[in-house]
Amino acid sequence: MDESLSLKPFLKETGKVSKFTIRYLSKWFLPPYEIKELIRQCYVIGYKSLPLVGLTGFIMGLVLTMQLRPFMVEYGVESRLPTIVGIAIIREIGPVITALIFAGKIGSSIGAELGSMKVTEQIDAMEVSGTNPFKYLVVSRVFATTLMLPVLAILSDAIALYGSYLGVNIKGETSFKLFWNQIFEALEFRDVLPAYIKTYFFGFAVGIIGCYKGFFCEKGTEGVGQSANASVVIASVLIFILDLLSVQITELLGFN
Amino acid sequence: MENISNSNLGKAVIEIKNVSKSFGDNHVLIDFNLTLNKKENIVVLGKSGSGKSVLIKCIIGLLKPDKGSITILGNPINDVTLTEMDKIRAKIGFLFQSNALYDSMSVRENLEFPLRRHWIKINQNQVNEMVLQALEDVGLKHTVDMMPIELSGGMRKRIALARTLILKPEIILYDEPTTGLDPITAKEIINLMITIKEKYNTASLIISHDMNCVKIASDRIVILLEGKCYAIDSYENLTKSNDPKVKQFFE
C-alpha cells in the first residue's frame, strides 16, 4: 500500500504530538519558572500581533456588514443588521478568523524559530548552559499563545464590531449608542462564554503544534521551512476541528 | 592496534570506559575507552559519520550511552540527576561546530546566558567584567553590543569560544572548531585554543579534520575507527606508523 495513503504515519505523528502535549502538561507548573521569558513571549506573541489582528478584524466586520445588508434589506429586517453581525462575530467569526490569522503569524514564526534553533544546535547549547530547553522555549511559548489569543480575540471582536458600525452607516444611519445597544441587548452569556473559552484551546493548539514542529525539526534548512509550513497547516485544521467539537459540547451543555 | 601511551600530564579529568552507543542497527561507538588528563589536548580523528560528535555529546550528557561509564572530574555521569549534571556542565565548555550563538540575543546576552543560567550569584558589575574579560581573551571586546548576524564566520567562532570561556571551565570540548573557516582564520582559532589552554590550564578534547589543527593543537591523537579507539599516540609517532589504517589519515 502506498505510504502516503496509509494511516500509520498519521497515527504515529498523532501519538508523538500527544506525547509532546502530555510532556508540556506535566512540566508547565513545575519550577524553575521562566517568568521573564514568558513575559517576553507575551509581548512578542500578543502585543506585536495586535496590528495585524486589528486590521483583519476591522475589515471582517466592515465587509460582513456590507455583504449582509442587501439581503437584510430584501427581507425587510435591515434594522436587525447590528444584532445579526454582532452575534455572528462574537460567537463564531471573530474567534475563528483571529485564531487562523494568529496561526499564520505566530504558528509559523514559532515553527521556524525553534526549527532554526534546532538545526543550528542552539537548543543543545541551551541545555549545555544549564537550561531546560523544553521549559525555556516550549512551556513559555505555549503558555503565552494560550494566554494571548483570548485577549486578541476580544480586541479583534471589538474592532470588528466598530468596522461593522461604519459598514452600517455607509448606506444607513444608526447612532453609535443605538448600534451598541442593539448588540448588547441581543447578546447573552451563552453567546460570549463558549466563544471566549474556545479561544484558549485555539491558542494552545497553535503554540503546541508550532513548538512540536520546531523542536523536532530535521533535514537542515529545508526542514525549517517545512516546520513553519506544517505548523500553520496543522494548527489551522486543528482550529476547525476544535471549533466543531466546541459546538457539539456547547450543544450538549445547553448553551445553544 | 590500540597503543595507549598515556602522557602522564596529570590526573584524569575525563575517563571513558567501555562506552557503546547505537542508533538502531547502526553501532556508532563500541566499547570505546579514553582518558583525558589535566592540561592535555586530545584530538579525535575519524572519518565522517564515525561517531566523533556522538562521543562528545555523550560526554556532555546530550546523549546517553547504551553501555559503559563516563567520569568527569571524578563524577560518574551515567546516573546523575539533571541538577547534578548541570553542575558538572558548568565546568565544561562546549564549542559547537555551528557556533550555536543565539540569534535573538546580542553578543553580551549570549555571553551572559550561561552565567545567569548556571544560577551563579554575582552582581551585574561582575557579570559585565566577566563578559568583557572573555571577549578580550578572544580579541573582540568591541563587538559586545553587536548581534551575531553582524559578525563574520571567524568572529562568530571567537564569540562562541568566549562563551565557552565565560564560566572558566576546566575542560573544553571542541566540535570541529576550524570547519568552514579560511586557512588564516582557522590558524588564528587554533592559536587561540593553545593560548587559552596555557592561560587557563584547561584540558581539551578536540574533534577535527583539519590536519593543521591536529598537528599544532594535539598532545595526543585518538583515531576512531569502526566505533572503537583504534590508536592513541602523539602526532610524531602516528605519522611514522606503518599501519595503513593510520597512514590514511596523514597522507
Peptide bond into B244 cis (omega under 30): no
The predicted-structure confidence for A142-157, as pLDDT tens digits, reads as follows: 999 999 999 999 999 9
The predicted-structure confidence for A172-195, as pLDDT tens digits, reads as follows: 888 999 999 999 999 998 899 999
B96, B110, B156, B172: which to substitute to probe chain A, counting the most A Cβ within 10 Å? B96
Residue B4 clears pLDDT 50, i.e. is over it:
no
pLDDT, mean of residues A89-103 = 96
- Shortest CA distance to B177 belongs to which of B142, B202, B204? B204
Chain A contacts of B98, Cβ < 8 Å? 120-121
Task: Report chain A residues touching chain B, CB-CB < 8 A.
Answer: 113, 116-117, 120-122, 124-132
Q: Is A130–B102 a contact, with Cβ atoms under 8 angstroms apart? A: no
pLDDT, mean of residues B46-65 = 90
pTM to 2 decimals? 0.86
Strands B41-46 and B203-207: parallel
State the Rg of chain A over Cα: 21
Of A122, A131, A132, the CB nearest to B100: A122
A43, A129, A221: which to substitute to probe chain B, counting the most B Cβ within 10 Å? A129
Of the pLDDT bands very low, low, confident and very high (cuts 50, 70, 90), residue B5 is: very low
Q: How distant, in Å, are the alpha carbons of A207, A245, B38 from that of A42?
A: 12, 27, 46
Q: Is A121–B96 a contact, with Cβ atoms under 8 angstroms apart? A: yes
What is the nearest CA distance from B93 to chain A, expressed in angstroms? 8
- ipTM (interface pTM): 0.86
Of the pLDDT bands very low, low, confident and very high (cuts 50, 70, 90), residue A4 is: low
What is the nearest CA distance from A77 to chain B, expressed in angstroms? 54
Q: Which of A149-153, A221-225, B132-136, B235-239 has the largest mean confidence? A: A149-153
